[in-house]
Chain A
Amino acid sequence: GDSVTQTKGPVTLSEGTSLTVNCSYETKQYPTLFWYVQYPGEGPQLLFKVPKANEKGSNRGFEATYDKGTTSFHLQKASVQESDSAVYYCVLAPSSNTNKVVFGTGTRLQVLP
């Protein structure tokens, strides 16, 4: 079946350091991949999505490349800020023919000033 595996948190970083959150997926279909971010007290919100293999998505300094060869979609940011402290979810939409999406378990990031 369809699945998503991502870095198990929590991840604690100092401001200005780099971030990588690993995400691997499994599906036999042609998925759209997403990163959602959830700030304290709020629901998840879209960070960005990538509908096509071998393309990159980015937003707010975060980026990820949809790598079909390695079935990965790792989230990276060169220099994190305290305001990036949140939970990050890697999400798989297996195809456009279903409304069911598959979430990873989330990675909690804490950035220390």
Chain B
Amino acid sequence: DTTVKQNPRYKLARVGKPVNLICSQTMNHDTMYWYQKKPNQAPKLLLFYYDKILNREADTFEKFQSSRPNNSFCSLYIGSAGLEYSAMYLCASSSDWGGSYEQYFGPGTRLTVL
């Protein structure tokens, strides 16, 4: 099974409220990623876990947090949502370290902040 699952598929949030998105995979992949995708823009890497080590991109470091309680699950946490967070959030996983490995993507969570 090469499925990456994301919950919820759609999320409505109020400005200033927290948001927690969930991703899971059963492929025993070492690396899990979170991307943000806005219309007419390329998917933007927010952060990734390699095993238990979290790597966050410098320009989004303070905006997003994440946890990986076990190999299968990874969350994306927004402490205080702003209008600019409205986007599609894609989770992906790959079997090992390094960008040359195929990434398996979930269907995404569409977040709308009002």
Please report A residues at the B interface, Cβ cutoff 8 Å.
4, 32, 34, 41-46, 49, 51, 89, 93-106
Distance from A40 Cβ to chain B, minimum over Cβ atoms (Å): 10
The prevalent SS among residues of A at the interface is loop
Pair B107/A98 contact, Cβ less than 8 Å: no
Given contacts A43-B105, A44-B105, contact A99 B31 (CB under 8 A): yes
Q: Does B99 contact A (CB under 8 A)?
A: yes
List chain B residues, Cβ under 8 A from A34: 102
B98 touches A44 (CB 8 A): no
B residues near A (Cβ < 8 Å) are: 4, 31, 33, 40-43, 45, 48, 50, 55, 57, 90, 92, 94, 97-100, 102-108
Chain B residues contacting A93 (CB-CB under 8 Å) are 98-100
A-B contact number at CB 8 A: 63
User: CB-CB < 8 A to A49: which residues of B?
Assistant: 100, 102
Asked if A46 contacts B97 (CB within 8 A), the reply is no
Whether B40 lies near A98 (C-beta < 8 A) is no
Residues in A neighbouring B106, C-beta threshold 8 A = 43
Structural contact, A100 and B42, CB atoms closer than 8 A: no
Most chain B Cβ neighbours within 10 Å, of A89, A93, A94: A93
The distance in angstroms between the C-alpha atoms of A93 and B31, with both chains bound, is 15
Q: A42-B107, A49-B102 are in contact. List 17 more A-B contacts (CB 8 A).
A: A41-B107, A43-B4, A44-B43, A46-B102, A49-B100, A93-B99, A95-B99, A96-B100, A98-B99, A99-B31, A99-B97, A100-B99, A101-B103, A102-B42, A103-B42, A104-B42, A105-B41
**Across-interface contacts of B108 in A (CB, < 8 A):** 43
B47 to chain A, nearest CB (A): 10
